[in-house]
Each structure stands twice: as C-alpha cells, then as structure tokens.
Chains A and B, each alone.
Chain A
C-alpha cells in the first residue's frame, strides 16, 4: 500500500473551486513530482495534505490513517512535514531557533539534537550562520533552512512546495542533490511540487501533471521526460 493516497480530492477557496478531484499515490521511499502551470492546483494539493485547506470531498490517507478533519499540528505529529512555498522562514528567529521550531511537535530531546547536527552536516552553510536571524540569509540559504526545518520534524513524508523558486541554477542543483541524499540515506518520502519540470523529473521517480485542478497525465518520470505534451508545455524553454 502506498504511504500517501489522495482519492478524488476536491477543495475550494470560497466559491472558487481549486481542486476538481485529484488522485495521487505516493509509494514509501519514493520522490514523486507534481507538475503544472500556475493555478493548476499544485499548492492547494499540498495544503489539503497538510491540513491548511479542508477538502470538500474525497479522502487523503496517510499510512492507513484518514487525514480529513485533523489539524495541521496533528498532521505534523503523524510524520508529514512541510517546506512551504516561498520558504516562509521565521525572519526574527535565528537559524538555530528556526530549526528548533521544526521539531516543536517532538519531545525526544536527544534525537532532536542528533537531527540538528545532521541538518548542519547536510547544510554546512547553516552551521556557519547558526546565530544569524533567518531574515538575514540569502534566498538559497533560506531554502536550505526551510528544508532543514522540515527535516527537524523527522518526517516520513516531506512536502516540498517549489523549492527551486527564484534560485540560481547552481544552487538549485546543489539543493536537489542534497534532497536526493536525504531520500536515499533516511528513506524520507518526498512529494515535490515544481514548475521547473526539468529538475523535478530528473530526481523524481514518478510524476503527475495537474491541469485546472485535475490530474491530466500520470506516468513514471522517465516516460514523462520524453512525453511530447509535457516537453512542449512544461520543458519548452529548455529545448
């Protein structure tokens, strides 16, 4: 059984329907990409999983548990952490404090320290800036901090919302290399929402393409990379 299963999930913002029935399945240990244009419902899908948006229909099942009706902090406790769009670092908190807040839902002190050291090992730049305020970091460093903060929850599933947004290609490559490493070493499952289809399909094993709130295409990442429709719509600029 898949670790995460979305069955025909619908969601709305007031009168505007954002998801018209999205079904996604994420296998344990995999990296799954969700692609799509602006407004296709990618972020809403993640928000529905994390409990920030309540689905109006359909079900979201994580590790056999129905998530509908749970609060965001209950969902974090179950093992789903979030790396939000735009990084959303706590600007007035230091790097260390930001990381500690990622572990808020945990009470296993020693293991938290272990994970803290591990995050600084993965992102040495954060170690150098431990006492600096989050707001004073560069975009790339903030993205690293956002990922590190997510990892501090010791999640089984990490939700990543546009981690490449606004970053230089060399930093994007670096960050994805680290994500891959985390995925392999700790077998952290990842659900990755990206507009940058090239980088996403390079690292994911499976992908979904959303169009106006519905899954339009779903296939393995290698097939999607050669899918004409995907190339034209989402990888066009690079060809």
Chain B
C-alpha cells in the first residue's frame, strides 16, 4: 500500500515537474512568473483531441504536431505580449501572463466548450505490478516520458551551444549580449521550451484528468509551488520539489483523507519557506545591478 502510494505520487509529481521546470526556465531568463504555463498545456490537450478525432491522426503523429503547435504558442506569446513590455518590473510581467491565462481559458471555452471531454487515447486499464505495487499504465508511461524529457534537457543545457547560452543569459544578460549572444533570440527560445514542456504535461495528463479549460489549473499551482520549493532558479530543485509534492500529497490523501490532498503542497511550502526562504536549492540574491 505504501509503495503504491509513493509510486503513483511520483507519477503525479512527474507531470508537476514538467510544469515546474518550465516555470523555472522562463523565470530565470525573463523575471516572469508565467501563469499561462498550465494553459499552454491545456491548449495542447485540446489540439490533441482535434488531431486525433477530426484529422484521424495516430497518437505518435499527433504528439510531435501538438508539441510544435505548443512551442509556436509560447513563441507567439513572447513576441506579441511579453517582448513589448520586457523591460517593465516583474509585477507588470506577471500581470500580463495573468491576462494570457484568461485569454487562453476564454478561447478554449469558446472554441471547444466548457464541459470536460474524454481524451480519445486511454491507456490499458490493467495495472502493472512493480515489486508488489500496482500502478496504472498511464501513470507508468507518464513517468517514462517525464524522465526522458529530463534527460534530454540535461544534455541540452550541458552540451549544446543554445543550451549553454540560455544558462549564460540566466547568469548575466548584459554580458551575454556583449559576448555576441542574441539575448532576444534566447528569450524566444526560452518561451518555446515552455511550450514544449507544456505540450507534454497537457497531453500526458489528458487521459487521466479529462480535458477542459480548467484542467491544468491545479497542476500550474503545484508546478509553481514546486519551482519555489526548489528555489526558482534550479531545475534539479524544481524536479525534486515536484516529486516530493506529488508523493506527499498522495500519502496525505491516502492516509489522512482526500480533503488533505491539495493542502499538502501549501503546508510544505509554508514550512520550507519559514526555515529556508531561498528554497531548497535557492540562491538568495542573484543579480547585482
């Protein structure tokens, strides 16, 4: 029972992690807390339904298409909404993403309706037995995808020119510009990556929670809390935070009752921030002006 709770907690946590990583990546390169991160995923899930049902596409044809669309959405939001106000203070940026959040909510409701829809691809209901712990195939597949994406990101940030440049921009955007790094392009890339991560979060979660304009709201909050948990600058921190929250809330839900489930993440963050205001892997003050 305990093993099972932990395992399915890790599965939920890995979807939170995809969101948390995106929150971190966007924040550290643009000072923006992106409230629309979840909704990028929600749009991706609706597009997934569209591609499968209307265009009759196979799941594995749909997935890369949805990822591309979602990246384009991230890039579009940067170009149209964020870039004109890029030099504003963080509250302005934050509020702009709140605007995007409501626009995407409204657009999805207007186009696809407000009621929940089942995702056309559901995984085999037969659970898988891992050392005595039963886990649904959907959860297992999600964990696999999240782990694969984590590994891809690791190599991207460590070994590719654009990945290292993204970290250089995090470190010191002014100097990055002087070194010939096109910072605007890197920021665009950052939002593209947010879209990429959101597509997976949305499509992976869709068969489990069903698709509606509100489907990602809770995931966004959990992902954000996980990002803060890890210190907002650290990807490993965000992943660990997300997995911890996933497991903790699952255990709380299992042993204390389902009412406690959602509150768990917030109890954790309040306790953590009381003792470590900079988060798990945080750095207290990064940039001097």
Contact = CB atoms under 8 A, between A and B. Distances in A.
A binds B: yes
Interface of A: 50, 52, 71-73, 75-77, 81-82, 84, 88, 90-93, 97, 100-102, 104-105, 149, 153
Contact of A90 (B161, B175, B177, B180): B175
Contacts of A91: 171-172
A71 B178 CA distance: 9
Given A101-B165, A104-B161, A84 B171 contact: no
Contacts of A77: 180
Given A101-B164, A101-B165, A82 B170 contact: no
B171 A90 contact: yes
Contacts of A76: 178-180
B279 to A, nearest CB: 16
Contacts of B98: none
Interface string B174-186: 1111111110000
B167 interface: yes
B168 interface: yes
A110 to B, nearest CB: 15
A82 B161 CA distance: 20
13 contacts: A76-B178, A84-B175, A88-B178, A90-B167, A90-B176, A93-B164, A101-B164, A101-B168, A104-B179, A104-B180, A149-B179, A153-B179, A153-B180
Interface of B: 161, 164-165, 167-168, 170-172, 174-182
Contact of A97 (B164, B170, B177, B182): B164
B161 A88 contact: no
A82 B179 contact: yes
Given A82-B179, A104-B161, A104-B179, 10 more contacts: A73-B180, A73-B181, A73-B182, A76-B180, A84-B178, A90-B167, A93-B168, A100-B161, A104-B180, A104-B181
Contacts of A72: 177-178, 180
Nearest to B164: A97
B203 to A, nearest CB: 32
A102 B170 contact: no
| 4 closest cross-chain pairs (CB), A and B | A76-B180, A105-B180, A88-B175, A90-B171
B172 A88 contact: yes
Contacts of B164: 93, 97, 100-101
A72 B177 CA distance: 6
Interface of B is mostly: helix
Given A88-B172, A90-B171, A93-B171, A50 B178 contact: yes
A100 B167 CA distance: 12
Nearest to A135: B171
Most buried by A among B167, B168, B170, B171: B171
Contacts of A81: 179-180
Contacts of B175: 84, 88, 90
Contacts of A105: 180
Contacts of A90: 167-168, 171-172, 175-176
Of B167, B175, B176, B182, most A-chain CB atoms within 10 Å = B175
A100 B162 CA distance: 11
Contacts of A73: 177, 180-182
Contacts of B167: 90, 92-93, 97
A155 B277 CA distance: 44
A39 to B, nearest CB: 18
Contacts of B165: 101, 104
A183 to B, nearest CB: 21
Given A90-B168, A92-B167, A101 B177 contact: no
B132 to A, nearest CB: 42
A100 B157 CA distance: 13
A105 B182 CA distance: 9
A100 B160 CA distance: 10
A91 B161 CA distance: 17
A100 B168 CA distance: 11
B117 to A, nearest CB: 43
B178 A101 contact: no
A102 B179 contact: yes
Given A73-B181, A73-B182, A93-B164, A101 B170 contact: no
A138 B191 CA distance: 35
A1 B41 CA distance: 58
A136 to B, nearest CB: 14
A75 B178 CA distance: 9
